[in-house]
Structure 1
């Protein structure tokens, strides 16, 4: 698996930033984000369970440009 770095939240400072990568072999998105809080998790669970092999993360809306860039990278693969 070769990950291509696409972008990082530039407003998170040095506290660990939400980050987006594209897997160059599969064109899958790899997203690092903030852990969700209990209230958000409750709302997510209202739609269905979160399997043990999955997780839910939050990334800021200001990263839409980075996500769009990741979509473009995946389309090129």
Structure 2
């Protein structure tokens, strides 16, 4: 796996660091974010995609990404797309 660092939350301090990378081998976007609180997890578990069972599978999690990370996520998407097209 070769991770390319894309960016970190511009308002991050020493306590927390929502971050985005791109795996250059798979072109997956890798995200570090805040652990979702119980209320958010419960809402996600109840509002599932049509045709899917309710709940959050054991191999998945819910994370919260601050809106200020959106430009960094756009850049990560662009890098992943360019890498995939090679």
TM-score for the superposition, normalised by structure 1? 0.94
TM-fit CA distance, 1:16 = 2.3
Aligned residues: 77
2:75 and 2:22 map into 1 onto residues whose CA distance is 10
Give the gaps of 5 or more residues in structure 1.
Answer: none
**Match for residue 37 of structure 1?**
37
Structure 1 residue ranges, 4+ long, deviating more than 6 angstroms after superposition:
none
How do 1:16-55 and structure 2 match up within 5 A? Answer: 16-46=16-46, 47=48, 48-55=54-61
Q: 2:69 aligns with which of 33, 40, 63?
A: 63
The alignment yields a C-alpha RMSD, in angstroms, of 0.8
**Match for residue 80 of structure 2?**
74
